[in-house]
Structures are given as C-alpha cells and as structure tokens.
Amino acid sequence: MSVMSGEGNILIMAVRNWVYYIKEAFRSVVRNGWMSFASVGVVTVTLFILGSFMLLNINVEHLTSEIKNQVEIIAYVDEVLTRDEVDDLRVSLIQMVKVEEVRFVSKEDALVRLQEQLGELVEGYSEEGRNPLRDSFEIRTIIPEDIPEVAASLQAMTGIARVDYGTDVVEKLFRFTGAVQWVGLAFMLGLALTAMFLIANTIKLTVNARSREIMIMKYVGATEWFIRWPFLIEGLFLGAIGALIPVLILSYLYGETVAWAQLNLYFLPLVSPETIIQQMSKTLLILGTVIGGLGSLISIRRFLKV
C-alpha cells in the first residue's frame, strides 16, 4: 500500500516537474523576445543555406551518377588472337573483382553498328578480309569510380591492343564531383558550428540574466537536471523553430523549381520532390534541435559548478 502511494507520488512529481520545465522554458522565450527572435533567425538563415546546398548537392550527385552509369571501357582485342584465345580472355575479364559486366562485340557486329550510324559512307567493307575494325569488349565496372584503375590493368593484359574510356572526361568528372562533395561537407559543418555558437551565446544571455535564480536553486538543493531542463527545452524549441521555417520555405521552392524544370528544362533529370524533401526535412530538423540543445547545454555548464 505504502509502496503504491510512493510510486504515485513520484509520478505526480515528475508530471509537475515537466509542467514547470516547459512553462519556464516558454516564459524565458517570451521574456527574452528579441534574443529568441535573433537566435531563431540565425538558425533559420544557416539552415536555409545549408538546406539549399543540400538540395543542390543531391541533384549534382544524381546528375553525375546518371552520367557515370553510362560510362564504359572499350578494350580492343589484338588481331592475332584466335577465337579460343578471345574466349579465354573473356573469362578472365569476367573474373575481375571490380567488373560488373563484359560484352563481346565482334568486328562484324561493330561494322554493322557503324553502318547503321553512318550509312553509305562505310559500304563495301563487308566482304571477308576487308573489315578494318577490331573485335572488342565493352566493360562496365560495379562502381564507376573504378574505371580508370580497371582500364589501366586491362591495358597491361596480353591480348588487349588498346583501351578506351574517354579518359579525360571521366577523370575530370570524378574529380569535380568529389571536390563538390568535400567542399559541401566542410561548408555545412562550418555553418552548423556557427549556428551552434550563436545559439549558445543567445542562451548564455538568458542564463546570465537568471544566474541569481540558478545560484539560489543550487543552494536550496535543486538537482542539476532540474536547473538544466528549462534551458535545454528552450534551446531545443528555438532550434526546432529555426529549422521548421527553412524546411517549409525550401519544400515550397523546390516543388516549384521541379515543376518549372519539367516544363522548360525537360532534359535535366532533377530528383523528385517527395524523396528529397523528406530527407532534407529530417536532416534540418535534427540538426536544428541538436544545435539548439547543445548550445544551451554549453552555455549553462559554467553556472552549474557550485
């Protein structure tokens, strides 16, 4: 019986505490109206930039992977090889770890393809012994980034005369997308840290204003978390609001952009809004609340040392 009522008390106490934490947090948001406005503004601006960058980055990635997937290696076979030797070569190509698909194109097939493309210009080569083309393999790798490496090892194999994969374009593309991703990451990290620093300073002001209250709380025996929660909730709330605003704006803008692009730039394959917006919203909301929460924990730490 007494145990039951004890548990009941703990529950009632917990509920009462949470009512207090939330009330205090919102009171502080209202009391420090301008500072709250400023920190929400800071988070909104940083996360807006970050979100735009994210949308851009995902689209660039999407675009390059579309291009990358069309890139393949063409390995021309040495003319002296017999059919059996060509078959052996095919087997050893298929067995390479990084290779996804190997297609054999005989010189006859190649000629037919060429004639289809160029028509009359290449007529007359069809007779036995007059075909100037070579047998070749068209090879796709599992990851497009492995193309240069696989091409190099093919080059070294006996039986392969020449390897072709549009060296320049592919390497430039890979280097470019790699750079875009790194710069983007560094940029986003910088922005997130800035936002956190700013929100920490904002909340530090509200903590400063209430340092007397905090000191008294410590003297009468309030626990550290009792003191911390209102500030933490305040930070989480400011961060979440600061994230919600850019999420709404960016969702709207991206939807409009995709609709416009479908009409006017139909060749540009943009990522559809449904998937990308969900991903962006999740990231921004998590980042916003984490930034706000960490900011407030950082700013209150000093005051709890008594």
- The site for other proteins (CB under 8 A) is made up of 12-13, 16-17, 20, 212-213, 215-224, 226-227, 306
> Whole-number minimum distance, CB 4 to other proteins, in Å?
17
Task: Report the distance separating Cα 188 and Cα 59, nearest Å.
Answer: 16
> Whole-number minimum distance, CB 283 to other proteins, in Å?
35
Residue 32's SS3 state is coil
Task: Report the distance separating Cα 68 and Cα 60, nearest Å.
Answer: 12
Nearest residue (CB) to other proteins, 167 versus 211: 211
> Whole-number minimum distance, CB 28 to other proteins, in Å?
13
CA angle 293, 297, 299 (to 5 degrees): 120
Q: Single out the residue of 139, 145, 133, 74 nearest to residue 106, CA to CA.
A: 133
Nearest residue (CB) to other proteins, 23 versus 113: 23
Beta bridge partners of 105: 136
With tokens 């990290």, the residue in question is 189
Nearest residue (CB) to other proteins, 16 versus 175: 16
> Whole-number minimum distance, CB 213 to other proteins, in Å?
6
- Both tokens assigned to 91: 């087997």
Task: Say how many C-beta atoms besides its own lie within 10 A of residue 106's C-beta.
Answer: 16
Nearest residue (CB) to other proteins, 18 versus 182: 18
> Whole-number minimum distance, CB 223 to other proteins, in Å?
5
Nearest residue (CB) to other proteins, 14 versus 183: 14
> Whole-number minimum distance, CB 6 to other proteins, in Å?
14
Q: Helix 273-301 crosses helix 167-209 at what angle (to 10 degrees)?
A: 40
Nearest residue (CB) to other proteins, 37 versus 226: 226
C-alpha dihedral over 205, 207, 212, 216, to 10 degrees? 180
Residue 71's SS3 state is coil
Q: What's CA 261's distance to the chain center, in Å?
A: 22
The answer for residues whose C-beta is within 8 angstroms of residue 248's C-beta and 6 or more apart is: none
Nearest residue (CB) to other proteins, 17 versus 106: 17
Phi, psi of 130 (to 5 degrees): -110, -5
Phi, psi of 124 (to 5 degrees): 95, -10
Nearest residue (CB) to other proteins, 38 versus 222: 222
Task: Report the distance separating Cα 152 and Cα 164, nearest Å.
Answer: 10
- Both tokens assigned to 235: 């930070």
